[in-house]
Structures are given as structure tokens and as C-alpha cells.
Amino acid sequence: MSRLVVVSNRVGPLKDTGRAGGLAVALVDALTQAGGIWFGWSGEISEEGTFGNVRRVGSRKVLLATLDMTQADYDAFYVGYANKTLWPVFHYRLDLAVFDRHAEEGYLRVNDRFAARLRSLLRSDDVIWAHDYHFLPFAASLRAMEVENPIGFFLHIPFPAPEVLAALPNAAQMVRRMLAYDVIGFQSRRDAANFRRFAVEEIGAREADNGDLLLGSRRTVVRAFPIGIDAEGFARQATTPDARRHTRRTEKLLAGRQQIIGVDRIDYSKGLPERFRAFGRLLEDYPENRGRISLMQVAPPSRAELDAYAEIRRELEALTGNINGRFADLDWTPIRYMTRSFTRRALAGLYRASRVALVTPLRDGMNLVAKEYVAAQRAEDPGVVVLSRFAGAAEEMSEALIVNPHSAEEVAANLQTALTMPLDERRDRWQALFDRICENDAASWAQAFLAALNNQGNGQEEKEAS
């Protein structure tokens, strides 16, 4: 059996520390089954950076191999091109995107150096699986070093419409480099279709009947592989003593009132200000909810070194102040906004104590919170998901109440529907959602992707042999 080599910006953890998400769990499972390497950035800045030694830790079967970055690499590759250019463009925020030639060069340089270091660890039958927008050109870098192994790529964030991507300088070159991958997986059919359309219209690739793309002598499988969570595992977390404590504490505080929950890294893609306004609108348009319904928003900060993130934090603080100032009563605070983070068990307990999950990103590759909320519910008295049509999850979760997050009015009306939904209907919708997220879980996602990659790898070999 071939070894698996996973490549991602951040690596690990190998053991479930209670904080690891479903993705880490799924990847560790796949790595443990096949044996292999998880390769990426150590999280450290050092002088040697991407020239330095690969540090190895881990068991006999699974090795973590990491490289440091120099300050210049980190600034250009991670802060610069990945997070100030690709992240905003891929989330349709051209207004926030910075186009800087040095950052782009740094991004390509780091991909080359990571590829060179990985090459020294590779065996000829290894299967390589790279993750996310940090590594769009990684296969092209490896191919230029004559690596012929099967290489797959999964994009965790949206792939934008061609009209939006066209604003990225050198977009066509980037997409051409992506076609050095054997398999490219997207979160949704919409993303896969956007990619195909760009490749056909802008770089003259040919689309096969099954949606694969052909360019020169290369064939790339292009498909949606919607990512899942470890649904049964997360459902079990929701009944641990730690989770129960959080459920009980919250319910005690609510004293018979209902709670809406939001859980998101602070990021402009998550639609947090729009969400707070929509909640304000609920209190305005449906005054019977005043004193009775609150919004708990868990919002751990991320990428705090970027201006756009500091700005959204200030905006959220102001909005919370406004709405609470306007509607609060002696014994009721409308919005409980927390920038601390919780363990996964605690989160599961908070989901369970909440009647509605409000998941309203303006753009999101998938959105795992919507799935976690479903997994954490009580089968006999489950809550309702209000979900943005712009989350990849909306393609799969049609029993959620699907909303346009830009319309405060529409979100408020759907919140009202969710809060007054009869138990029978809540159960029916929840059961359908729960069955589906158990079926399409993190393990089946990894298996489906790796099956496609192994298949394609064999296909290329056969082609060469004949």
C-alpha cells in the first residue's frame, strides 16, 4: 500500500487533544491507515526558514515533518499573498484584496522551497494530498522537480466566479499551475463549476463529459467532495460531563428563555455585523421576543495582525453596545458576545443548550459549525439551523432554513419561523440533516478523495505504460 503524504500550512495535532477539529481527526485516521507523512509549516519563524532542516516527530507509522519560515517568507507567503490577496479574492472581497508583486513572488518561492524539501522525503509510490489556498501551485513546483507521484489538492475555501477571479493579477497562470494536480477537490458543485469555467474560458482547457479538465497531455479530475465532520464522535462529545456542565449552566442562566447561537472565528467572510443587525431586526419586527430570546456569539479572534480583522472587531463591539443599550432590560441582555474560545466539548454543550444556530457567512467554503450544531442536538427536542445560501453547506443541508445573509429582514423572518417551529417539524428536519451528516462524514470524505486520487494515479501510469 502506498504511503500518504499530507501537505498543509499547519500540521497536526496527531492526538485528539479535545481541541482538534474533524479535519485533523479525518486526516490522522487516513494517515494511520496508510502510514505516511504530514508535512507543513512548524509555526516557527527562524533564520534558516525554508532552507533549514526538516524536523520530524511522531510514531513509526505517521511522521510529522515541519519546516520553519523566515520572517520574509512569513510576511510574503502567509500574511501577504495567502491572507491579504487570495483569502479576500476567493471570498468575493475585491475591496479588501491587496495586490503586491513581492508577496506573489514570495508565495511562489515558498511553494518551491517546500516542494524541494518534501521531494527529499518522497518515495516513488507515495500519494501526495495538499490542502488549501496556501498551496495552489505546489504540484507545479513538484512537477518542475520531476516528481511524478499522484498529487491531489483540496480547496477548503470557495472558488470564486471567473469574473471575480479575473481581477487577480496572473490568475490564468495560477490556474494553469493548478492543473499540474491529478485531482482537484472543491467543497461544492458551484466551486467546481467556477473552476472549470475559468479554465475553459481563460486558459483554453477542454472539459470532458465527466467534468475532468484536459490541458496538453494532462488530465485533471475536478469534482466536489463536500467535507464532513466526525458526526457520531461529536454527538458523543455533547453528552460528556464537560459538555453537560456547559448545557446546564447555560440553561440555568436562560431560565426558560431561548437562545440563538453563533460560533465563528472573527473574519469578514462570516457575516457577523450583518448577523447582529438581523438579530436587532428580529427584536424590532417581532417585539414579543424582547426579554425572551438572546444571541450568544462565540467569536475567537484570528489573524489579528491584519487591519481588516481589527476593524471588524471594533465594528462588532460597537454593534453589540448599540443593540444591548437599546433593548437590554434589568434581567436580560440581548447579545452575549464572547471573544474567548472554548474546548470542543464545551462548544458541543453550548450548541445543545441553543434552540437555533445562526450560520450566516457572506461566503464560506463549507461551514462546519452548521454540521456540528446538528450533531450536538437532542433527538427528542432538536433545534433549527438558519443557514446562509452562500455557505457550501447549503448545497447539502436543504432542511435548514436557507437565507440571504445580506437581508436583515429575511434573516429576522426566518429566525422567527425557527423560534416558533412546532416540535414535529423540528424533528423531521433535524432527522434528515443528522442522517445525511452521519453518512457524509469526515472519514467518508477522506476516503472518497483518496479513492479518486489513487484511481487517477493508476490511470496516468497505465497511460504511460501503453
Specify the residue, 32 or 343, whose C-beta has the smaller distance to ligand GDG.
343
> How far is residue 414's CA from residue 429's CA, in Å, rounded to a whole number?
15
Q: What angle do CA 344, 350, 356 make, to 5 degrees?
A: 125
> How far is residue 205's CA from residue 215's CA, in Å, rounded to a whole number?
5
Residue the block writes with cell 477571479: 165
The minimum distance between CB 310 and ligand GDG, in angstroms, equals 18
Instruction: Please report, as a single letter, which amino acid is at residue 255.
Output: A
The minimum distance between CB 203 and ligand GDG, in angstroms, equals 26
Span interacting with ligand GDG, options 111-119, 285-293, 363-371, 426-434, rule CB under 6 A = 363-371
Residue 295 has which C-alpha cell? 444571541
The minimum distance between CB 345 and ligand GDG, in angstroms, equals 9
Judge contact between 456 and 130, C-beta under 8 A: no
The minimum distance between CB 302 and ligand GDG, in angstroms, equals 8
> How far is residue 319's CA from residue 309's CA, in Å, rounded to a whole number?
15
> How far is residue 232's CA from residue 244's CA, in Å, rounded to a whole number?
17
Cα torsion 349, 350, 353, 355 to 10°: value is -130
Specify the residue, 341 or 460, whose C-beta has the smaller distance to ligand GDG.
341
Instruction: Tell whether residue 365 is a contact of ligand GDG (CB under 6 A).
Output: yes
Out of 218, 265, 406, 427, the only residue in the binding site for ligand GDG (CB under 6 A) is 265
Out of 4, 5, 7, 23, the only residue in the binding site for ligand GDG (CB under 6 A) is 23
Please tell me the count of residues contacting ligand GDG according to CB under 6 A: 22
Decide: helix, strand or coil at residue 193. helix
Instruction: Tell whether residue 157 is a contact of ligand GDG (CB under 6 A).
Output: yes
Out of 3, 134, 344, 436, the only residue in the binding site for ligand GDG (CB under 6 A) is 344
The minimum distance between CB 105 and ligand GDG, in angstroms, equals 26
Span interacting with ligand GDG, options 9-17, 326-334, 364-372, 401-409, rule CB under 6 A = 364-372
Instruction: Tell whether residue 226 is a contact of ligand GDG (CB under 6 A).
Output: no
Instruction: Tell whether residue 372 is a contact of ligand GDG (CB under 6 A).
Output: yes
Instruction: Tell whether residue 21 is a contact of ligand GDG (CB under 6 A).
Output: yes
- Asked, as a colleague might, if the bond just before 287 is cis with ω within 30 of 0, I would say no
Q: Which residues are within 8 A (CB) of 337 and not within 5 positions of it... i.e. 6 or more apart?
A: 297, 299, 316, 317, 320
Residues 411-450: x where in contact with ligand GDG by CB under 6 A, - otherwise, as a string: ----------------------------------------
Q: Show contacts with ligand GDG in window 64-123 (CB under 6 A).
A: none
> How far is residue 72's CA from residue 75's CA, in Å, rounded to a whole number?
5
Residue 16 has which C-alpha cell? 485528539
Q: DSSP letters of 30-94?
A: HHHHH-EEEEEEEEEE-SSGGGSPPEEEE-SSEEEEEEEE-HHHIIIIIIIIIIIIIHHHHTT-G
Instruction: Please report, as a single letter, which amino acid is at residue 54.
Output: V
Specify the residue, 304 or 465, whose C-beta has the smaller distance to ligand GDG.
304
Specify the residue, 91 or 281, whose C-beta has the smaller distance to ligand GDG.
91
Specify the residue, 19 or 378, whose C-beta has the smaller distance to ligand GDG.
19
Out of 30, 128, 192, 366, the only residue in the binding site for ligand GDG (CB under 6 A) is 366
Span interacting with ligand GDG, options 18-26, 212-220, 238-246, 250-258, rule CB under 6 A = 18-26
Out of 96, 227, 397, 415, the only residue in the binding site for ligand GDG (CB under 6 A) is 227
Specify the residue, 269 or 414, whose C-beta has the smaller distance to ligand GDG.
269
| Cα distance from N-terminal residue to C-terminal residue, the chain | 23
The minimum distance between CB 111 and ligand GDG, in angstroms, equals 20
Specify the residue, 372 or 396, whose C-beta has the smaller distance to ligand GDG.
372
The minimum distance between CB 82 and ligand GDG, in angstroms, equals 13
Judge contact between 166 and 92, C-beta under 8 A: no
Residues that are catalytic: 156, 364
> How far is residue 380's CA from residue 56's CA, in Å, rounded to a whole number?
48
Instruction: Tell whether residue 369 is a contact of ligand GDG (CB under 6 A).
Output: yes
> How far is residue 37's CA from residue 86's CA, in Å, rounded to a whole number?
27
> How far is residue 22's CA from residue 231's CA, in Å, rounded to a whole number?
9
> How far is residue 347's CA from residue 345's CA, in Å, rounded to a whole number?
5
Given the rule CB under 6 A, which residues bind ligand GDG? 19, 21, 23, 156-157, 227, 263, 265, 298, 300, 341-344, 347, 364-369, 372
